[in-house]
Amino acid sequence: MVGWVRAIGRVAMLAAVMATGTARAQDAAKPTFVFTGIPDQDEARLVERFGKVASYLQQKLGVPVKYLPVKNYSSAVTAFSNGEVQLAWFGGFTGVQARRLVPGSQALAQGAEDAVFRTYLIANTRLGLEKSAEFPKGTPGKTFTFGARSSTSGRLMPEYFIRQAFPEKTPDEVYSRIGYSGEHSRTIQLVQSGVFDLGAVDYTVWDLDAKAGKIDPDKVRVVWESPPFANNQWSVRGDVDQTWGKGFTEKLRQALLGMSDPILLAPFGRSKFIPVKNDAYAPLIEVGKTSGMLD
């Protein structure tokens, strides 16, 4: 009798080992989940931000996760649309562009700050401009730099506000020279150094750079703060459940919403992530069409 019990025990243990091995093999067989993000800050901060996110998501999702860096905003949209990445941290407008190219894709989460986002208009202090509630009327004829061409807070919304302040004129008609820095930290440095008189920047990047000691208040200052608008968000392709299993999209959403560690959130300049849906960005579609940036 004892022999039979021992034999049964050995069989049970063998079955458990085989099951564990099978589960591990299945996990190893799962393809890598790849994500990216718009390069809106300097490279060092991007590596800090997304490297930590990759480790966090891998732990929460139970699949291999990889961060894929991209060179510019349009590259992020392209990588999302061709399936090179399945998830992306987009600006408001780049998210609109990407989701229109991939049927079924969803905005999953945004920073709490992204629901009421703002652009700062910054100026070199030699202009003598002080902060005002209204868009500064003394700026025409100066030089002006946007951020990336597809940036919501660095291009799309600033252009919209410039057109509001100076009706029937394009930014090229208002300012003597227009530039595109490519990212917000670069915009700050270009205005601070005097290469451009004025610039439009993401307010969270301004705050992060100020805390990092990268801003000299004797050389550059905020002279106007925009009305709020919806901005950055995490967007996912509509086909991920087919590859990683039913319910994966919701599991991913909960992982993003549960990202509460200040160490993870600090590089984003966000206090937490909150739920969001595609229709929150409907106003950006209208602005995109008005500015000619969206068909």
CATH code: domain of residue 107 = 3.40.190.10
> For all residues of the chain together, what is the average pLDDT?
90
How large is the average pLDDT for residues 88-92?
Answer: 95
More confident residue, 90 or 40: 90
CA distances to 39, 76, 191, 197 from 149, rounded to whole Å, are 12, 13, 17, 18
Task: Name which of 262, 268, 265, 281 is nearest 204 in CA terms.
Answer: 268
Q: What is the pTM of this model?
A: 0.79
Residue 247 pLDDT: 97
Residue 150 pLDDT: 87
- pLDDT, tens digit (0-9, with 9 covering 90-100), for 136-194: 989 999 999 999 998 999 999 999 999 999 998 999 999 999 999 999 999 999 999 99
Residue 219 has pLDDT above 90, yes or no: yes
Task: State the total domains in the chain.
Answer: 2
Which range among 34-43, 125-134, 197-206, 251-260 shows the weakest confidence by mean pLDDT? 34-43
- pLDDT, tens digit (0-9, with 9 covering 90-100), for 3-59: 554 544 454 444 444 444 443 444 457 899 999 999 887 888 888 889 999 999 999
CA distances to 47, 138, 282 from 200, rounded to whole Å, are 24, 16, 22
How large is the average pLDDT for residues 67-91?
Answer: 96
Residue 10 pLDDT: 53
- In this structure, the answer to whether residues 104 and 126 fall within a common structural domain is no
By residue range, what is the domain housing residue 266?
31-115+230-282
Burial class for 25, CB neighbours closer than 10 Å (0-12, 13-18, 19+): exposed
Domain assignment present for residue 294? The answer is: no
Residue 285 has pLDDT above 50, yes or no: yes
How large is the average pLDDT for residues 281-290?
Answer: 85
Structure tokens at 220: 């550059």
Last residue of a domain, one of 225, 254, 269: 225
- In this structure, the answer to whether residues 122 and 206 fall within a common structural domain is yes
pLDDT band at 80 (very low <50, low <70, confident <90, very high): very high
- In this structure, the answer to whether residues 43 and 81 fall within a common structural domain is yes
